[in-house]
Structure 1
Amino acid sequence: MLKLATAQPSISSDLKKNAARICDLIREAAAVGADCAHFPEAALSGYVKSEIKSWSDVDWEALEASLNEVRACCAETGIWAFVGCNHRHPDLSRPLNSLHIIDGHGHAVARYDKQYCSNAEITDWYAAGNKPITVDIRGIRLGFLICIEVQFPELFMEYERLGVDCLCLSSGPGLKTFRIQCQGYAASNCFWLSYSVPQNASDKQPSCFIGPDGEILASCGCAASGLVLGEIDPTNPKWDIPVNKARLWRRRARIGEIYREHRLKE
């Protein structure tokens, strides 16, 4: 079993304030027994167009220092954190819109780079990532996506093929339908889903934790900062049908062999 805290922090253009709020929520997550904490898109760095008006305004050294503060907090509390933060890659002329995966020792163990950037992002702001990322914590496999990628069902299906138990989707200000889509993806792929948005955008679609049947199990308040705690436990009898029966049946159904003998031949 894995306990995951889905966070809903306020995000500003002040890196120190963002880092302090993220660290506060990591400590709060640790205090309620979480193994990991999940944060929104650009939670540390701020998002382009809203908090960032030009890349020339970004102090990359200060951003790295703030990221180190978050890493130190993970080491202090012993829990993992998945933190939205822009990333400069030495081989690219533009930054990446990333989710930094930090373990309970404060080590950067992986980084998910947004693969399907929005039209505005890819036209004027970001480079794009090129692969899914999974990490295993306490026997539970997690995958990661960012914001507008909620519009691409093939990404969720790929993570199902990779055997994830929980998909963490970090969003910024998005459409009200994003949370509804997340419920649908959780139900159709039979995995848990953590949906994290900033307090700044939570009046439309608060952060929430969704079960493998698509039910919202816990939700942050509208326009409130904070977090909710969810449990991912594939052995719990409550989830026997979606996790142990429906998910395996859908895999077999997609292959098609179970229908071959009884399929219409005309």
Structure 2
Amino acid sequence: MLKLATAQSPLSSDLRESAAGMCRLIREAAASGADCVHFPEAALSGYVKSEIKSWVDVDWEALEASLDEVRACCAETGIWAFVGCNHRHPNLSRPLNSLYIVDGRGQAVARYDKRYCSNSEITDWYAAGNQPVTVEIKGIRLGFLICIEVQFSEFFMEYERLGVDCVCLSSGPGLEMFRIQCQGHAASNCLWLSYSVPENGSDKQPSCFIGPDGEILASCVRGASGLVIGEIDPSDAKWDIPVNKARPWRRRARAGEIYLEHRLKD
């Protein structure tokens, strides 16, 4: 069983303020017994068009120092953090919209780069990533997506095929339709889903944690910094139908072989 904290942290153009706020939530998550904490899109770096008006204005060394603060906090508390942060890649002319996966020793063990950037992102701001990313914590496999990628069902089906138990979707301002889509993807693929949005973008839809049947199990308070703790336990009897029955059956249904003998021939 894994305890995952879904965070609702404020977006800020002040890197030190962002790092301090994230560290407060990491410590709060650790005190609540969480194994990991999931943050919104660009939670540390700030998002383009709102906190960032031009890449020229970004102090990348200061951003790296702020990331080091968050990593040190993970090492201090012993829990993982999934950190929304812009990433400058040496082989690309544009930064990536990323999630750093920081383990309980403070090491950045993986990085998910947003693959389907929005029209304005790919036109003027970001380069695009090219692969899914999974990590395993306490026997639970997690996958990662960012914001508008909620609108692409193939990503959720891909993670289902990769054996993911929970998808962590980091987003910008929370939208009711994004939350509805999250619930649909969770139910269709029998996955837990953590939906993390920023505090100053949660008035329409706050961060929430969704079960593998598509039901919202916990939600943050609208317009307030905070987090909720969700438990991911595939062995729990209450999840027997979605996890042990529906999920493997749907995998067979998608493969199509179970229909061959009884399929209409003419």
TM-score category of the 2 structures, normalised to the smaller one: over 0.9
Share of identical aligned residues, percent? Answer: 83
Query: Tell me, what secondary structure is at the counterpart of 1:209?
Result: strand
The two structures, once aligned, show a CA RMSD in angstroms of: 0.5
| CA displacement, residues 149-194 of structure 1 (integer Å, 9 cap, x when unaligned) | 0111101110001000000000002532001100000000001000
Aligned equivalents of 1:153 and 1:241: distance in 2?
22
Q: Take 1:254 and 1:216, find their aligned partners in 2: how far apart are those partners?
A: 26
Q: What TM-score results when the alignment is normalised by the length of structure 2? A: 0.99
1:72 aligned partner, one-letter code:
A
Q: Which runs of 5+ in 1 are unaligned?
A: none
For the 8 Å contact 1:147–1:174, the answer to whether it is kept is no
Correspondence list, 1:96-245, <5 A = 96-245=96-245
1:49 maps to amino acid: K
**Amino acid corresponding to residue 103 of structure 2 in structure 1:** D
Runs of 4+ in 1 over 6 A off after TM superposition: none
Matching residue of 1:250:
250
SS at the partner of 1:90? coil
Q: State the match for 1:10 in structure 2.
A: 10
Structure 1 residue 11 displacement after superposition: 1.1
Deviations 1:73-123 (A, max 9, x none): 000000000000000000000000000000000000000000000000000
In 2, Cα distance between the equivalents of 1:36 and 1:118? 28
For 1:165 and 1:251, locate their aligned partners in 2 and report how far apart those are by CA, in whole Å. Answer: 14
- Where in structure 2 are there 5+ consecutive unaligned residues? none
Aligned equivalents of 1:118, 1:175: Cα separation in 2:
15
8 Å contact from structure 1 (residues 186, 193) kept in 2: yes
Alpha-carbon contact 1:184-1:214 (below 8 Å) kept: yes
8 Å CA contact 1:133, 1:144 repeated in 2? yes
Post-superposition offset of 1:223: 0.8
